[in-house]
Structure 1
Amino acid sequence: MNHDTTRSSGATDVASTRSVFGAPCWVSLTSRDMQATEDFYHAVLGWEWRTAKLGDRFRIALQDGAPVAGIAGVATMWQVAVAWTPYFAVPSADEAASRARERGGTVAVGPLSFPPGRAALLADRDGATFGIWEGEFVGDWEAWLRVAPAFIKLHTRDAFDAAIFYGEVLEWATERQGCCEVHYEANEVVLRHRGEVVARISSGALEAAPDPTIRPHWQVHFAVSDVAGCAKTVEEHGGTVLRQGEEEAVLRDPDGAQFTVVLRPDPED
């Protein structure tokens, strides 16, 4: 994939949310215990860590030297749940937050300035938490798509209604260059950016009545080479295996954050 870039203050071009917007661009974990969280995900996913520019409460996870995810030790300070949260690129965090509020969503935190950008933590009208980011990407956005989450998926009560909400807030399926495309495939709403699947929204059959038992949430899926081995390591380090199959396992870290690992496709297939 190729994407447009915007000129930074330096001599190089830096991809930003003005050229790629509406698509997921980062995932971050809110945490109570930074060191314990780092140790757990290093053991389970092999991540290395570096300090983020945002301060002592933030860390960047590295996979093969590339940034893949963040930890924010702000769960207690911001009074938010310990959870994995996807962040979507937006040209203006303030405008996107206003659109979310106008459509029945909630602005939980922000928008706040985090140079080189602005961020906010929101919830859709069914309570699923997500973030928005305005500014330069952490590292290379295309490289992040290749090495970071396999995809993110919203489990909700009404996929069609959720797609309308997110489409209006994040400007999906507009005529603006760089926006995401929305498709309906196999009873799911599928979000694509230049043909590549970047997110899914699911509530079962689209024609079925909304399921009141579902707690709407975004689930982050990480690609691994050994699902069974990963699940075993989770249990050995204080986590929980909620559901396990040959190609996918739903897991929970010791702090309570839920995530999914999926089998990484064989590059020769």
Structure 2
Amino acid sequence: MRRLIALAALPLLSAAPVRAPRIVSINPCIDAVLMHVADPSQIVGISHYSQDPRATSIPLAQAMQFTATSGTAEEVVALAPDVVMSGPHVAPATIAALKRMRIRLVQYPVPDSVTESEEQVRDIARIAGHAPRGQALARRIASAARPMTETQVPALIWQSGGLVPGAGTLPDELLSRAGFRNMSAVYGLKKWDVLPLEYLIARPPRVLLSVGAAEVGEDRLTAHPAVRRLAQRIAIAPYPSRLMNCGGPTIVAAMARLRRIRKGMGA
């Protein structure tokens, strides 16, 4: 009995703390989420696109603090991650190498809605070991994207080459939440489709969001003489391409830009 009492009196050994996983991201949109939900020491690799001023969705100075890879098997495995996070498309050689090394690969589709993006944010944070941070970021996204009640203004997002996001895309939902009505359906366009210049001129929206013009002053489309003439009748607003490519925290910046444009349109 004395021996049992003595053993019971011994202090319990605390369990060793669980080490936060080392993460390599090979997708710039996931990079942007990790900057908010993971510790910097966990992020052992990011996509090289995040260090490209034309493609990054995070501040360039911040991105340059991390090792960047092009997503090849050799580069990723050399960083000895516990988990690799990517978009839907990964080179077969990289997938095979990760399987051989028993490194976990988590792939995320391109989000088509605010809700889907919030779910991805929470899942990325959970895997990183910081679920509360994911919940906080998801709430911030939901707050930024709350729908406006004003009358919707006809608008169109027009990318280089005439590519237009239609119904069922994240940009389409953001337009609606910011007080715009996406004109894509009026032209009979699909989810992602090309709108010829002639159709745009024949039936223009009230506001044209020109993707790419913000980076270079004007792009090929807005420089066209017909579009210059159209600008005398409608509003043409630059829309940074970085706001087109990702969900997650990019939604916050995208909604801020769209709301400013909508406010300038009046009632």
TM-score tier by shorter-chain length is: under 0.3
Rg larger for: 2
Give the structure-1-normalised TM-score: 0.27
Give the structure-2-normalised TM-score: 0.27
Of Structure 1 and Structure 2, the greater helix share is in 2
Of Structure 1 and Structure 2, the greater strand share is in 1
